[in-house]
Amino acid sequence: MNITAEFDTIAAISTASGEGAISIVRLSGDQALDISQKVFKSNKNLSDVPSHTIHYGHVEDPKNKRIIDEVMVSVMREPRTFTREDVVEINCHGGIVVTNQVLQLLLREGARLAEPGEFTKRAFLNGRVDLSQAEAVMDVIRAKTDKAMSIAIKQLDGNLSKLIKSLRQEILLTLAQVEVNIDYPEYDDVEELTSKLLLEKATLVKQDIKKLLQTAKQGKILREGLSTAIIGRPNVGKSSLLNYLLQEDKAIVTDIAGTTRDVIEEFVNVRGVPLKLVDTAGIRETEDIVEKIGVERSRKALAEADLILLVLNQNEGLTQADKDLLTATEGMKRIILLNKTDLDKNLDVSELTELTNDQVLSISVQNTEGLDALEQGIADMFYEGGSAEKDATYVSNNRHIALLEQAELALSEVINGIEADMPVDLVQIDMTRAWDYLGEVIGDSVQDELITQLFSQFCLGK
């Protein structure tokens, strides 16, 4: 790979902005210790202290001797660091304004402000992590539930990389064997043996890729959220349900730098499944709109939803608007909610079951009844089919999914080629392509531009 890394010393605030008692300014590079020492006042010299130790002192502006903050400074010398360079972490106590002053001081004394993702990029360029692991760092930062986080951490541990590497190894050994066979054509039926070997191995590897791709849907949802629309005609209880779901302990705060979005969406954690509630603005806005507009609006929100929560008011009979919504969402994943069970029942359930076989749950948002069952229903729907294996390796990243699909396709071509009696050297080409695609997942054959683009998606300071 011909990437010219710039090994100057970079610095950034590496804790989330906003609250939090301690924030960390991180430096990485040859000059990390020297630059820190220029602003660090204590009875120690950072250049002399042992690696992986932490030191109490103050940050002082060397120009005017003004004390800026009381700090703890961690010193980690290369190579046992995240970037494989010298790393210094200054733990500041004085809040974000003070932390910023510390950073500015370091920049004045010779550090350069890190680009987004640059620490992780260095870890990658210095061989500390592979590309899929680097991407996992980003996922950890953005993880919306514990479950999503644990997948990302496993990927960071290298689960996906290990699997990909072993598949590549399998292909490589096969190709090597094919070469050997071709070099010794004096043996009888060597051509047939070679074809058989290629067919067998391509089939095996393809199966493994297929299995991995089957985790993609769940993995993607865990990563991006299960896009969910709450729909129903006015006054059935949509806003009430939304507010219940958004109550404090469930709402996931998404405060990620650099991800401003136009669409109003909010995340809630339902038994480990991140629900991305779409069009929450539409649900929240004033209710004295014509029924028709309400329905229209709902239609739009549901077009992009993975899951529909269709709310009906069981205190009233089914209306035409209810039926329209039932029709409009037919065939989508949905749960039908009969709300207001605390009131009299006027909805004819048999009329409803004539229209749908989907899951129907009775709830009362007001009395918080049936809502546990609703959450369970959502979780079951998500884990349907594939059990939520604890140690499963998920692919959740679009880039990985696309590459795996291409590798799978190349292997299909190997299989088709052999079945069509194509010459081995042509089949070999497809096998090699599969190997290349898998390599791209872990960053073995990606172009510079892609790398720069990937890392620029990271948060600053990571």
Among 12, 365, 418, 424, binds ligand GDP (CB under 6 A): 365
Q: Does 340 bind ligand GDP (CB under 6 A)?
A: yes
- 20, 21, 51, 101, 295 from 58: Cα distances, Å: 20, 17, 20, 13, 61
Choose among Zn ion, ligand GDP, none what residue 222 binds, the Cβ cut-off being 5 to 8 Å by kind: none
Among 116, 117, 225, 232, binds ligand GDP (CB under 6 A): 232
Q: Does 237 bind ligand GDP (CB under 6 A)?
A: yes
* Ranges within 282-321 binding ligand GDP (CB under 6 A): 283, 287
Helices (H) and strands (E) in the chain, counts: 17, 14
Closest CA to 297 of 309, 285, 307, 306: 285
Piece of 238-246, 269-277, 310-318, 368-376 that binds Zn ion (CB under 5 A): 238-246
As a whole number of angstroms, the distance between CA 68 and CA 61 comes to 7
Choose among ligand GDP, Zn ion, none what residue 364 binds, the Cβ cut-off being 5 to 8 Å by kind: ligand GDP
Q: Does 163 bind ligand GDP (CB under 6 A)?
A: no
Contacts of 128 (CB under 8 A, 6+ apart): 82, 83, 84, 122
Buried b (16+ CB within 10 A) or exposed e, 337-360: bbbbbeeeeebeeeebeeeeebeb
Q: Does 238 bind ligand GDP (CB under 6 A)?
A: yes
> Residues 181, 182, 185, CA angle at the centre, nearest 5°?
85
Q: Does 280 bind Zn ion (CB under 5 A)?
A: no
DSSP letter string, 81-114: SSSSS-EEEEEE-SHHHHHHHHHHHHHHTT-EEP
Count the residues of the shown chain that bind ligand GDP, applying the rule CB under 6 A.
Answer: 17
As a whole number of angstroms, the distance between CA 462 and CA 452 comes to 14
Among 101, 240, 406, 432, binds ligand GDP (CB under 6 A): 240
Question: Which amino acid type is present at position 131?
Answer: L
Say which residue the tokens 């172009």 belong to. Answer: 447
Among 136, 138, 198, 236, binds ligand GDP (CB under 6 A): 236
Binding-site residues = 26, 89, 128, 235-240, 254-260, 279-282, 462
Among 155, 161, 329, 364, binds ligand GDP (CB under 6 A): 364
Among 14, 239, 298, 397, binds Zn ion (CB under 5 A): 239
Say which residue the tokens 């903050």 belong to. Answer: 69
Binding-site residues for Mg(2+) = 239, 260
As a whole number of angstroms, the distance between CA 400 and CA 440 comes to 8
Binding-site residues for K(+) = 235, 254, 256, 259
Choose among Zn ion, ligand GDP, none what residue 237 binds, the Cβ cut-off being 5 to 8 Å by kind: ligand GDP
* Ranges within 86-105 binding ligand GDP (CB under 6 A): none
Q: Which residues would be at the binding site for Zn ion (CB under 5 A)?
A: 238-239
> Which residues lie near ligand GDP (CB under 6 A)?
232, 234-240, 283, 287, 339-340, 342-343, 364-366
